[in-house]
Structure 1
């Protein structure tokens, strides 16, 4: 006599397989949706706490028309790097941002391979106007053998002193918390632009993302930042000269 598996058992097994497959498909769909949301979310910090936001641009962002920027947004443009490089998009983006009436700042990418004096002379020779915001000095550990903290601080001080002879303007140092810690003995009048996904304990500007869209938009994506303070405090920082 042949044993025959009851038909209801086969039906139950088939249904279980279908349920399992459906659960796997649903889980994968949720993962895809979650990743999509994460990649496209706008991480802008609270506009109540940080009412003034802006972006930091370099030549990789290309020419901008700034039409999607609101009037109270600020823009920082990379102007120079080291002792010989000029950002390809600096001139056109400076003119366009200025034409839109946006609060505007420029920054220099500091090099560890040329002297601060050579870099200051290069900045002065290539930049004719520095906008309305403190001049930025961007520090990044692009190589392993960096100068000591004391040497780096002295070099940045030299650069600022020489640039200040041409532009009577305050400065802001840009970098990660680890990089900024290396120049913590700089004068308190020098602002800090902190690059971190976590809210910094103390900062003048907080760059919270290296690739976020403007509020209400999907693209393009910018190195986005907020001013740490009120609109009145931001206005007071505009066109502030060296004391």
Structure 2
């Protein structure tokens, strides 16, 4: 059998094993991804312009074929780990171990509540997410929680930034890497999160490029849809882009993976 025919058959078998067909093409997105509610991407500042894409998952993605995601271009994953000071996502261990087994660099993220101290929440995250060589940096997810049944507190911006800095300092000492801070559009603006020193940002912006939605501010990861469709996962999933080329991704990994 000719080599190119063998390669085609291997790819066909692999994609068939993922159990779902490629999604319909959405202009502006990488061709291997779809979107259940796509934004009307236009111009050059579109997700498809970036080489490296990944996902973030939680208990809502209960059936994930990580080998299938990797085959369709998923290069990294952020996995929901903890909330506040007393909750652990029930899919944490399963998602992390499966992503690692499939060769998808990953790490856990902590969802912050303003009704416990930063010290308590950092300790809770550390207690539930062991340090592991090769993992990505930990992530701190900070956003307002208006629908929470237990904590809707909205402290002043200075307190928010101090909490972020305190959490970052504690987890940096344990994992050997500064956390990435995830933030939504309103939270990032309300609290001037760019004033938190020495951290990288993962910014949500599902209706425009970060240069338009967060003008003048730096970012490393961009969450560009919360309704993504990828063969290998049932239902909708968040999809993200890394700000850089293949070579810049390799350099970033070499500097930022845990040791």
Larger C-alpha radius of gyration, 1 or 2? 1
SS in 1 for 2:164: helix
Determine which of 180, 183, 192 is the counterpart of 1:172.
Answer: 180
Contact 1:132/1:239, CA 8 A, preserved across alignment: no
State the Cα deviation string for residues 59-103 of structure 1 (Å, max 9, x = none): 111142312222661111011111111110000111000001112
Q: Structure 2: where are the runs of 5+ without partners?
A: 1-33, 147-151, 212-217
Q: How does 1:1-243 map to 2 (within 5 A)?
A: 39=36, 45-47=46-48, 49-70=49-70, 73-129=75-131, 132-143=135-146, 145-181=153-189, 182=191, 183-187=193-197, 189-197=198-206, 198-201=208-211, 202-214=218-230, 219-238=234-253, 240-241=255-256
Tell me how many residue pairs correspond in the alignment: 203
Contact 1:139/1:175, CA 8 A, preserved across alignment: yes
Root-mean-square deviation over aligned CA pairs: 2.6
SS in 2 for 1:73: strand
Give the Cα–Cα distance (whole angstroms) in 2 for the partners of residues 128 and 207 of structure 1: 25
Contact 2:169/2:178, CA 8 A, preserved across alignment: no
Q: Structure 1 residues 38, 177: CA separation in 2 closer, same or farther (over 3 Å shift)? A: closer
Q: Alpha-carbon deviation of 1:169?
A: 0.9
Q: Structure 1: where are the runs of 5+ without partners?
A: 1-36
Contact 1:136/1:172, CA 8 A, preserved across alignment: yes
TM, length-normalised to structure 1: 0.75
Give the Cα–Cα distance (whole angstroms) in 2 for the partners of residues 219 and 41 of structure 1: 17
TM, length-normalised to structure 2: 0.71
Bigger shift: 189-198 or 87-96?
A: 189-198
Q: Structure 1 residues 86, 177: CA separation in 2 closer, same or farther (over 3 Å shift)? A: same
